[in-house]
């Protein structure tokens, strides 16, 4: 894939799962599970064990997945990541030499930034996106909204504080993409096939896609809003570890999403199902 294609794909998927686990085997397992769950993208942080080997293994074993490198803080590391097969580079702070290196080598890059000055500096240096990190301590989705109001031309990636509980608000904040929680820690490492089956089961059961017989539980919800409602319910149900629970109070909030990006909601649902299957 070329740079413009990778950038477009990141925008389309809208979710960047960070893979940070305790072993290379677990990293490979988690990335494959996320891919099988419907999110063909993964960021492998340089703090993960054998990160370069993981990147190489993923690009070889699941070539349809866009594999990138995180916590890239210098040119030497950036070069090794590209040699391993990484298709994008990112960091928790603004490292101009890495941004310039990526631009020179025609690779997608999104450095971390926090203040408006850092965001503008990163964008002017050639960043394809700017990752706002950490979001949570400075207002979360409210801060993203404030930045977008003043810098609408800069595509922002929200990072830090984006999870199943806060996903709805970040979706409404209109960031270009969202970095999902950075630690996926399966208590028991199952075979990817088993996890994929559990993900599919959750997607069918939690989202109410098993058939027409369960539509009566959502009686009175307009068809065009039904999908969004179930999406919101799913996110909160998974977050609260009550996979089958419902909360009709979410209906009013879900209505606000009708005019927004339903594909983004779909991707969050897929990722929520993956998290639930891995826990």
Q: What is the DSSP string of 86-118?
A: -SEEE-SS--HHHHHHHHHTT-EEE-EE-SHHH
Do residues 211 and 240 make contact, with C-beta atoms less than 8 angstroms apart?
A: no
Please state which CATH number belongs to domain 3-179. Answer: 3.20.20.70
- Asked whether the beta carbons of 275 and 184 are under 8 A apart, the reply is yes
**3-state SS, residue 44:** strand
For residue 276, say if its preceding peptide bond is cis, omega within 30 degrees of 0: no
> Distances in Å between the alpha carbon of 112 and those of 24, 109, 115, 194, 226?
25, 10, 10, 35, 36
- What pLDDT, on a 0 to 100 scale, did the predictor assign at position 72? 97
User: What does the pLDDT profile of the chain (279 residues) look like in tens digits?
Assistant: 899 999 999 988 888 888 877 777 777 777 777 777 677 899 999 988 889 999 999 999 889 899 999 999 999 999 999 999 999 999 999 999 999 999 999 999 999 999 999 999 999 999 999 999 999 999 999 999 999 999 999 999 999 887 766 776 777 787 888 887 655 544 444 444 454 455 455 444 444 433 343 343 334 444 444 444 444 444 444 444 333 334 434 434 444 444 455 555 566 556 555 555 444
Structure tokens at 233: 């319910």
Predicted local confidence at residue 271, as pLDDT: 59
Start and end residues for every CATH 3.20.20.70 domain found in the chain? 3-179
* The predicted structure's pLDDT at residue 264: 56
Predicted pLDDT of residue 233: 45
Which of 190, 180, 141, 169 has its CA nearest to residue 254? 169
**Confidence (pLDDT) at 219:** 42
- CB contact at 8 A, 263 and 255: no
How far apart, in whole angstroms, are the C-alpha atoms of residue 233 and residue 254? 9
| CA–CA–CA angle 34, 112, 161 (5° rounding) | 55
């Amino acid at each position: 894939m070329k740079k413009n294609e990778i950038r477009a794909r990141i925008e389309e998927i809208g979710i960047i799962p960070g893979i940070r686990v305790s072993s290379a085997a677990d990293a490979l397992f988690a990335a494959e599970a996320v891919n099988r769950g419907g999110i063909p993208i993964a960021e492998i942080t340089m703090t993960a064990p054998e990160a370069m080997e993981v990147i190489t293994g993923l690009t070889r074993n699941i070539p349809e997945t866009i594999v990138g490198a995180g916590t890239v803080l210098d040119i030497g590391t950036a070069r090794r990541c590209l040699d391993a097969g990484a298709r994008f580079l990112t960091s928790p702070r603004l490292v101009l030499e890495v941004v310039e290196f990526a631009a020179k080598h025609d690779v997608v890059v999104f450095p971390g930034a926090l203040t408006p000055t850092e965001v503008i500096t990163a964008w002017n240096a050639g960043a394809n996106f700017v990752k706002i990190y950490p979001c949570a301590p400075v207002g979360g989705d409210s801060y993203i909204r404030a930045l977008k109001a003043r810098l609408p031309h800069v595509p922002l990636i929200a990072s830090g504080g984006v999870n199943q509980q806060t996903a709805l608000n970040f979706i409404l904040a209109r960031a270009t993409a969202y970095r999902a929680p950075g630690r996926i820690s399966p208590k028991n490492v199952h075979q990817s096939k088993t996890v994929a089956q559990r993900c599919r089961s959750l997607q069918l059961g939690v989202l109410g896609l098993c058939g027409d017989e369960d539509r009566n539980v959502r009686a009175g919800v307009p068809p065009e809003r039904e999908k969004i409602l179930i999406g919101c319910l799913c996110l909160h149900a998974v977050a609260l570890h009550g996979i089958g629970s419902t909360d009709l109070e979410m209906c009013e909030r879900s209505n606000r999403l009708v005019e927004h990006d339903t594909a983004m909601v779909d991707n969050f649902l897929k990722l929520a199902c993956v998290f639930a299957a891995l826990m």
